[in-house]
Amino acid sequence: MKKLIIDRKKWYRGRGASGSSLLLSDGTMCCLGFYALSCGKTEDDISGKQLFAVGQNTNCLVSAKGEAAWLGRKREGLCVGLASINDDVFISQQTRESQISEIFENNGVKVKFIN
């Protein structure tokens, strides 16, 4: 199982979708930004990019090695779901982490939250 670490100190979440991107200029990122980096994307690749801007044809997260990440192509609904949970201003932090973990884990990615 692939492992993903999300650092709460660098995690942009719970502030709504406005202003959110995979990697913001202040160094914070959404959960999909952490995932993109774990798939081999660079910070330059994702800086200031919105949900589907990393690849083409809504293929939001394909690794630098060319392997299709599970979030890409035909499963872009997972990206939208994760982004919605990430940005939701009405849920608790515990609920957010639980829901994000569950989606990732159901798709072969074990999430660990630190800091």
- Rounded Cα gap, residues 63 and 59, in angstroms: 11
Average pLDDT over residues 16-35: 90
- For the stretch 72-82, pLDDT in tens is 544 556 777 88
Can you give the residue range of the structural domain that contains 49?
Answer: 2-114
Q: Give strand pairing partners of 7.
A: 114
Per DSSP, which regions of the chain are E strands? 2-7, 109-114
Alpha-carbon distances of 70 from 14, 40, 115, rounded to whole Å = 24, 14, 26
Q: Is the whole model's pTM more than 0.85, yes or no?
A: no
The domain tally of the chain equals 1
